Structure 1
Amino acid sequence: MQQTWNSDRRRTAIGRATLSIPARQALADRQLTPERTVLDYGCGRGDDVRALERLGCKVAGWDPYYSAESVLEPSSVVLLTYVLNVIEDPEERRESLKRAWELASTVLIVSARLTWERSKVRGEQFGDGLLTSRQTFQHLFRSDELRSYVEEVTNRRCVSAAPGIVYAFKDDSARLSYLAHRIVPDADWLASTDTTSAIASLVDYVEQRGRPPRIDEMPRPMAEQLAHLKPGELKRLIRDSADGDKVSAGTKRSTLNTLLFLAVELFNGRGPFSSLPLSVQLDVRSFFASYREACQRSDRLLLKIRDDAYIRGAMNASAVGKITPTALYVHRRSIDHMPTVLRLYEHCAAIAAGRPQGWTIAKLKHQGRAVSWLDYPDFDNDPHPRISSSYLVDLKTLKTSHISYEKSTNRPLLHRKHEFLAPDDPDAPRYRRLTDAEVRAGLYENPHLIGTETGWEAELIRCGRTLRGHRLLHRKED
């Protein structure tokens, strides 16, 4: 039976020239694929439906005003995009979420506007939300509130894909496949056109992963190119061709990635071994004595997050990032080079509250447990990039906060950019040369002044310097 929404909510349906943010996130996360059927439940004017059709998705849309004649049928994926915000009756809101969940056979993707958008909504208090100047309703969710709400209605452990976007999976296998995609890098197979190149690709995989693949892990064309070789021949070719040091490094990397995955899995609710993705099962069998041993080690790793001294020690030992008296700051290009316990720290925050789509630097506090994702959109081009926004999640309370600096006239900015990167980052030497030049010019003599735009500009003038790209020049006399 199709649900009838009593109030006129058509004014909340906006036209879009591109995919909505939740649909783009779901595409990036491989939840929307040509093999899956998709239902946009509450599709509004149908812009996402048309855009997904152009991308080859089998998608249908239903809306009580714009597409009420559409037949509601179960689908692999159900999108509930900014629907819960506009329902003023709490019971009807819950029933709409419940109905969307019933229609999803694999995953329900729920998105909602968040409380940090309050300044964009003009209206008066009405019930548990706002009655806007256009006579529409908006209930703004906290990020943690949205996740908890979806978990309560679906009775499932949910994952925050991004702030305001929550995935509820029908079974553990689908949820764990998603987590594995986020945590364990996919195999990057070299192109193979014949037996020789296929063997080279296989050897490269072994060096990267630390173990040979099972045949159903290989790309089908490559498996066919190697089908005439006996297993013993393949093992000999790998043994003779693979670099032992690279294989050892791959084994260590895969072992740590598996521990990271299992620890995040425990943080989000652990399932049986059979529910793990095939590649993770094979990693467990290859690198651990048993699934039990792997789980015990990952459990100990998760417990380490609570230990301030251990976390501070890991930060001091990290080969990447800038450490301050309160936190470690790491660029997103270098995040996977942190010690495993710090990667786990950041992943747990991301699973709980969603990692924002736009971010440049992760800030991990070493006292208390909180992660902030800071966005410096012009980091690569600006020698001293200005912050655009900050999104914080407190892991003890799961409360979140968001700060926008877009309207600020004196934004905080960065110095010593190379310190946020891995030492072997290709841009690090250029940034380091700029820092050295600025130190010699005396620009860091008053560190309390240079943290904001106006203070930094004043110091540049005082020292008679100006910047052209990442070059420090003498300022010309007026």
Structure 2
Amino acid sequence: MKKIGKNIVANQYIHLSLLNQLSESDQLVVKQATLLAGVQEEEQFNVIKLSDNREIVTLLDYPDFFTEGFPILARYWTVNLATETYRHRTYEDSQNPPVLHRKELLISSKQEQYEQFCKLTVDAETIGLFDDPNRIGFLRAWESLLKLKGFSVVGHDLVPVGNLEKFGSNDEEPISSESGIARHLTALTRYNLSAPMQTLARFGYLDGRKSVFDYGCGKGGDLQALHENNVVASGWDPYYAADDIKKQADIVNLGFVINVIESLDERVEAIQGAYELANELIVISAMLANPEAVKGRPYGDGVLTSRNTFQKYFTQAELSHFISETLHEESLPVGPGIFYVFKDKDAEQRFVYSRFVKKRPPAIRVKRAPTERRTKVRVNRVQEKYERHQALLEPLWHLWLQLGRKPERNEVNIEEIGAALGSLPAAQRLIMAYKGEEGAELLNAAETARVNDLRVYFANLQFGKRRPFKHMEQRQKSDIKHFFGTFKAAVQEGERLLFETTQVANINAACQEAAEHGLGWLDESHSLQLHTSLVEQLPAVLRCYVSCGTLLYGDVSSADLIKIHIRSGKLTLMTFDKFDESPLPRLLERVKINLRSQRLDFFDYGEIYIPPYLYLKSRFINEEHPFFAEQASFDEKLEQLNLADLSGFGPSPEELEALLEERRYCIKGFNLERSQTIPNLDDACGLFLKYRDLIECGETQAETKLPNLPKQPDSYTALLELSTQLLDPIIDYFGMIKLTYGFCSPELARKIPGRVAPKLDQHGAHERNRLGHFICSRGGAAIDFLVEDEDMIAVAYWIANHLSFDRLYLYGSDKPIHISYNFNNVKQVSLMKKVKSRKNLIPKTMDSETFLNTNNIKLQLT
């Protein structure tokens, strides 16, 4: 019997309206899942996802399932019935939630909206929207594709954008994208800027507004990259650029210079000399101590290397102390071995303050309006006035959201606003009249976020025992007055947040909340692991916990992943090779930070430790990360292969490569593709057989001694799948089997006496004829076998009840079974009946469920 609903790989999706059409056992499984998760049908979920083994049930909520053409996922609960645990995820604050397509597959064909849903799917296919299913599963990519194709979704219709009547932007608020990130800085990164320069890029100092001087520029690699990106930059080096002039600049970089100077006095002179050239700040970096990296013979306070160069390896704390003692200024860590020292104290205050202010705007859930609203738009006076002054009001609105409070007169262009709208309050009233309830919700969220930003900021000042600034900028004063009333109250809020971070229960609850919002992978009551770009979205207590833990380490974004240990008061920061570009990035560096002692332990991978793979990377990022859809698809396929336990560190790279090769897979980009190599005939083909066993079997092959070799790599892959998915479990249950007819090349088929059907029987696997066409269009592979001393009807029953197969031909109790395996298995059984009036056998075909419910099979075969 064909499964109802939408079937994708090993999962079945149905709308809640089809629940009563599931079997009683499946309905019981769903009931158990709802009880474990503590959720209610309709109120909290309306789509059900069932794994093939029925151990995993996911309850999904699409609030606008029937009203939106492509509804957005609001939340879900994934329940593991085997362990009686569940994970909850909400997308209420996601800017790139999942999108549902092909809704008609989830409901009954008798449903009123079925034909409407089908038409929308056909229209989408016609214009090529579903050509690449991996790229349309999330809102951002989906809407970009719609825009590229020149269409918009109106109700359940795809309408060319040019045919839409113009309507106000209040109907559809634009989704904030990554436009806040300067794209030109990505180009800088491609030139392999040094680590200190990369920190300047991350913090926005290399946008062209600041001049840079590279003190000890070496061969000038950084300078070349800066020049090509329109940054005013110059440098000096005692060896490569000794004749160049040392110049004043806004920013001075002293990158990995002091660690190669063997004289302590000259190190001090270098730092002080570089500092004198800086108008705003100096960046100082040096090599950090690593027990595995320190190589050479002792010399002074460092070592002499094999190339006769000197290296002084600092600890993070030692470097911080040395800089501060040399310059009599406080140094700010921004990464391992990288510190900023500000000469301009106002600039320092702005930098410290900005590090605790989120740049991310509140999420805006976009709901498409019904068709009627689009086709006839009533233009009111508020909308008319807003659209007339939109160029002035939209920046004011975005500043309002950024601040979390009403902008003050000194923060806006008051003359321009006054001339156009009378006054700032009048402009603010017009904005709220236009934005309505959704605008009010966004402002409430922005205010809460801003308060938490400031609480983290003041907590960090207390933990780091930083001296308060002698004076504050006006915006900071306004923030404190609006959100806390007084400076003393703001400091008390910071102290209160610091105390909250000492309570394990608070950390545990915050980690749970973060995981529910898609911010990392929660290992229950042990740790939360996430990409460092997500840290600024964490609950305030976790942001405070991280910022305190990394006070000595510096900016967490210099690493890729962070692991928050819930109970031990520790953090682990990990850096990987090509984290974004690779589905299996390799670990390069791991730093363990003890929050209580502020001790840092560094571990490098490479020469001493083999860099392990990061498995299931999609767990630690979310749908807003680059290549998330491709990564999630890759992880799902790798898990389904069940090659090894992927928890913990998983198999080593060499072990994984061997396992993939054994299963005839290879990694290309974010895809797991079948191998196109030809294996050795004596290589293992599953647990019990070799390729030779499936190729050199049968009477005709034995008599003719034909090589009978497959020419197509996909034929070997099909034989492997046949063996691992069917023959291995059959042999494991019944014992060794006798193969009577396996792979059949065209040469062998011509020698077989009697009638064979190579176009249908799948014994030819994926071989092609002289015209390049498949000999058998069904694909897959087939085998005939016998289990000696067993009733083959009973064997067929066991197969139909326990295994997924394509076609099974049953000839009798003592006759071999023909069975095939394919990617799209139909589980079809054919009883090969004897008919007195005819010489050939006549097949009686049925699905496997009908076969299992049929009595007297033996009589029907005679």
TM-score, normalization: structure 2? 0.46
**What SS is found at the alignment partner of 2:254?**
strand
Post-superposition offset of 1:252: 0.7
Please give the alpha-carbon distance, in whole angstroms, between the structure 2 residues aligned to 1:423 and 1:238.
31
Report the equivalent of 2:463: 267
Instruction: Tell me the secondary structure at the aligned position of residue 80 of structure 1.
Output: strand
**Offset at residue 249 of structure 1 (A):** 0.8
CA change 1:424–1:65 in 2 (3 A) is closer
Q: Deviations over 1:28-74 (max 9, x none)?
A: 32345655454433334455455545544454434444555555565
SS in 1 for 2:601: strand
Which SS does the other structure have where 1:116 is aligned?
coil
* C-alpha distance after superposition, 1:151-210 (max 9, x if no partner): 22222221112212110112543222112333213487xxx9972232133224434543
Q: Distance in 1 between matches of 2:269 and 2:320?
A: 16
Q: In 2, distance between residues paired with 1:106 and 1:262? A: 24
Which residue, out of 341, 346, 349, partners 2:549?
349
Residue 476 and residue 377 in structure 1: after superposition, are their counterparts in 2 closer, same or farther (change >3 A)?
A: farther
**1:202 paired to 2:363:** no
Equivalent residues in 2 for 1:380-399 (5 A)? 383-399=583-599
Aligned twin of 1:331: 531
- What residue in structure 2 maps to residue 3 of structure 1? none
- Which residue is equivalent to 1:312? 508
Encode CA deviations 1:395-447: one digit per residue, 9 max, x unaligned. 33333333333458965444444432458879777766776777676567795
Q: Which residues in structure 2 correspond to 1:188-199 (within 5 Å)?
A: 195-199=389-393
Which residue of structure 1 lines up, in the alignment, with residue 273 of structure 2?
99
After superposition, where does 1:199-238 map in structure 2 within 5 Å? Answer: 199-214=393-408, 217-218=411-412, 224=416, 227-229=419-421, 230-238=423-431
Name the structure with the higher helix share: 1
65 and 436 in structure 1: CA distance in 2 versus 1, 3 angstrom threshold: closer
- Contact between 1:392 and 1:401, CA under 8 Å: does it hold in 2? yes
Equivalent residues in 2 for 1:5-404, closer than 5 Å: 19-31=193-205, 34-49=208-223, 51-68=225-242, 72=246, 74-116=248-290, 119=293, 123-186=296-359, 195-214=389-408, 217-218=411-412, 224=416, 227-229=419-421, 230-242=423-435, 243-272=439-468, 275-318=471-514, 319=516, 320-324=519-523, 326-355=526-555, 359-377=559-577, 383-404=583-604
Alpha-carbon offset, residue 246 of structure 1: 1.0
Shift of 1:295: 1.3
Distance in 2, Cα, partners of 1:248 & 1:297: 19
**Aligned sequence identity (%):** 27
What are the superposed Cα offsets for residues 193-229 of structure 1, whole Å, 9 maximum, x if unpaired? Answer: 97223213322443454323245545x7x98466533
1:443/1:205 CA distance change after superposition, 3 Å: farther
Amino acid at match of 1:213: P
Relative to 1, partners in 2 of residues 1:449 and 1:45: Cα closer, same or farther, differing over 3 Å? closer
SS in 2 for 1:368: coil
Label 1:88 to 1:341 Cα distance change in 2 as closer, same or farther (>3 A): same
| Contact map agreement 2:358 2:536 (CA 8 A) in 1 | no
- How many Å separate the matches in 2 of 1:115 and 1:408? 15
Determine helix, strand or coil for the equivalent of 1:93: helix
Q: Distance in 1 between matches of 2:340 and 2:630?
A: 41
- What secondary structure, in the 3-state scheme, does the structure 2 residue paired with 1:94 have? helix
Name the residue aligned to 1:12.
none
| Shift, 1:103, TM fit | 3.7
Q: CA deviation at 1:334?
A: 3.0
Aligned length: 456
Q: Is the 8 A contact 1:85 1:112 kept in 2?
A: yes
Q: 1:137 is matched by which residue type in structure 2?
A: F
Is the Cα–Cα contact under 8 Å of residues 480 and 490 in structure 2 kept in the other structure? Answer: yes
Aligned 8 A contact 2:279 2:344 in 1:
no
- Mark the runs of 5 or more structure 2 residues left unpaired by the alignment: 1-190, 362-385, 675-685, 687-716, 721-862
For the 8 Å contact 2:255–2:286, the answer to whether it is kept is yes
1:232/1:154 CA distance change after superposition, 3 Å:
same
206-215 or 452-461, which moves further after superposition?
452-461
| Distance in 1, Cα, partners of 2:492 & 2:315 | 34
Work out whether residues 349 and 469 of structure 2, in 8 Å CA contact, stay in contact via their aligned partners in 1: no
**Cα distance in structure 2, aligned partners of 1:471 and 1:44:** 43
- Structure 1 CA distance for aligned equivalents of residues 578 and 664 of structure 2: 22
* SS of match in other structure, 1:212: coil
* Corresponding residue SS for 1:183: coil
Structure 1 residue ranges without an equivalent (≥5): 1-16
- Going from structure 1 to structure 2, the CA distance change for 1:227 and 1:477 (only over 3 Å counts) comes to farther
Equivalent-residue separation in structure 2 for 1:152 and 1:40 (angstroms): 22
One-letter code of the match for 2:424? P
Query: Is contact 2:462–2:495 with CA below 8 Å preserved after alignment?
Result: yes
Give the alignment of 1:405-420 within 5 angstroms: 405-406=605-606, 411-420=611-620
Q: 1:340 Cα shift?
A: 1.2
- 1:13 is aligned to none
Bigger mean CA offset, 269-278 vs 20-29? 269-278
Determine helix, strand or coil for the equivalent of 1:78: strand
User: What is the Cα deviation at residue 93 of structure 1?
Assistant: 1.7
Q: Return the alpha-carbon distance in structure 2 between the equivalents of residues 307 and 186 of structure 1.
A: 28
The secondary structure found in structure 1 opposite 2:287 is coil
**Aligned residue for 2:121?**
none
Distance 1:115 1:161, change over 3 A: same
Q: CA RMSD in A?
A: 4.0
Relative to structure 1, the CA distance from residue 145 to residue 326 in structure 2 (aligned partners, 3 Å threshold; closer, same or farther) is: farther
Structure 2 Cα separation of the partners of residues 122 and 380 of structure 1: 32
2:290 match: secondary structure: helix
Higher alpha-carbon deviation: 106-115 or 383-392: 383-392
DSSP 3-state at the match of 1:388: strand
> Any conservation in 2 of the 1:203–1:241 contact (CA below 8 Å)?
no
Deviation at 1:317, TM superposition (A): 3.5
Q: Distance in 2 between matches of 1:212 and 1:140?
A: 50
Distance 1:81 1:285, change over 3 A: same
Q: Provide closer, same or farther for how the CA distance between residues 104 and 470 of structure 1 changes in structure 2, counting only shifts above 3 A.
A: same
Greater C-alpha radius of gyration: 2
Structure 1 residue 260: deviation in Å? 1.5
Aligned partner letter, 1:387:
L
CA contact under 8 A between 2:213 and 2:233: conserved in structure 1? yes
CA distance in 2, matches of 1:263, 1:466: 51
Contact 1:434 1:472 in 2 (8 A): no
Cα 1:298–1:123 shift into 2, 3 Å: same
Q: Which whole-Å deviations, capped at 9, do the CAs of 1:111-143 have from their partners, x for residues lacking one?
A: 112223964x75321101112333332212222
> For the structure 1 residues 381 and 72, does the alpha-carbon distance in structure 2 shift closer, same or farther, using more than 3 Å as the test?
closer
C-alpha displacement of 1:374: 1.9
